[in-house]
Amino acid sequence: MAVISAGLVREYFQNSDPIGRRIKLGGPEQAQKAPWLTVVGVVGDVKETSVFREMGYVTPPVVYRPIDQLGGVSIEIVVRTSARLLAVEPAVDRAVSSLDKDIPVSDFRAEEDRVAEVLAQPRFRTVLLGVFAGIALLLAAIGIYGVLAQSVGQRAHEIGISMALGAERGDVVKLVLGQALSLVLAGVAIGLAGTLALTRFIGSLLFGVNPTDPVTFAAVCLILTGVAVLAGYIPARRATKVDPMMALRYE
């Protein structure tokens, strides 16, 4: 008998009910000598790293068999305890020896250490991508500020004349911030379109997050909009300090 993963059901059974059906393991030559296994259950997929997909995970089809049907294999035992690791190891060794003295116990480690080892590379890549994303966000903010500062400088006399004719400071701030928002909203729209087109390439990099997760998209849009507002605020404040009399004398 055997228990198979959901991925195997999708790949070989076309999502039909596999319970009670029989399978053989191995290639064409091995399958001739391999025994028939009756499927008695289906379990979820397990994500695994792959050297062929360094930046992602795979969910290979898996067949689980009783250990008494296998020979020469190693097994992992999970022990849940609140005691210290050094205090638990001798007790586990004694418990295993009481069942079979010929079974050695090795590689005794805390589950946190195993998880940290598996996630070391993904975490490093996540930190690296986060650093690059932060640099890109900083460059975007600097670019928005530079464009707005240049625009305000070129329109300083126009703004001064407008204020001399009665324009309020709040109107000038709204004008400059409106330019900032128009730029960033256009960029966000283009970025969203490009992201939606590329989601099929980044799906393997994500775990527990949908590539088109609306919360993530909304958060990114709000961050970029907030950066645009902050980057445009300083030029807007500078625009309100334009001396109307200087602008009139220039004209």
Which residue has 């903010």 as its token pair? 141
Q: 3-class SS at 120? A: helix
- Per-residue pLDDT for 201 more than 80? no
The rounded distance, in Å, linking the Cα atoms of 203 and 81 is 36
Buried b (16+ CB within 10 A) or exposed e, 14-33: eeeebeeeebeeeeeeeeee
Residue 200 structure tokens? 């099929």
Identify the residue with better confidence: 96 or 248.
96
* Domain range annotation of the chain: 1-73, 77-108, 119-250
Give how far Cα 7 sits from Cα of 4, 20, 64, Å.
8, 17, 13
Distance (Å) of CA 226 to CA 104, 144, 210, 215: 60, 12, 24, 16
Contacting residues for 79 by C-beta, under 8 A, at least 6 apart: 88, 92
DSSP secondary structure of 73-117: ---------SS-HHHHHHHHHHHHHHH-TT--------HHHHHHH
Instruction: Read off the pLDDT of residues 164-185 as tens digits, 9 standing for 90 and up.
Output: 777 777 877 787 778 778 878 8
Angstrom distance (rounded) from CA 9 to CA 59: 12
pLDDT for the residue 207: 63
Nearest to 62 by CA among 77, 88, 43, 76: 43
In this prediction, residue 177 carries a pLDDT of 79
Question: Per-residue pLDDT tens for 209-221?
Answer: 677 778 878 888 8
Instruction: Say if residue 250's pLDDT is above 60.
Output: no
**What does the block give as tokens for 94?**
């004694």
- Residue entry with tokens 């004719």: 165
Q: How confident is the model at residue 19 (pLDDT cuts 50, 70, 90)?
A: very high
The rounded mean pLDDT for the chain is 78
Three-state SS for 124-169 is: HHHHHHHHHHHHHHHHHHHHHHHHHHHHHHHCHHHHHHHHHCCCCH
DSSP 8-state assignment for residue 14: T
Q: Tell me: pLDDT of 52 over 50.
A: no
Please give the model's pTM, rounded to 2 decimal places: 0.57
Instruction: State the average pLDDT over residues 156-168.
Output: 74
The answer to whether residues 45 and 6 touch, using CB atoms and an 8 Å cutoff, is: yes
**Six-digit token pair at 161?**
């004349």
- At 51, is the secondary structure helix, strand, or coil? coil
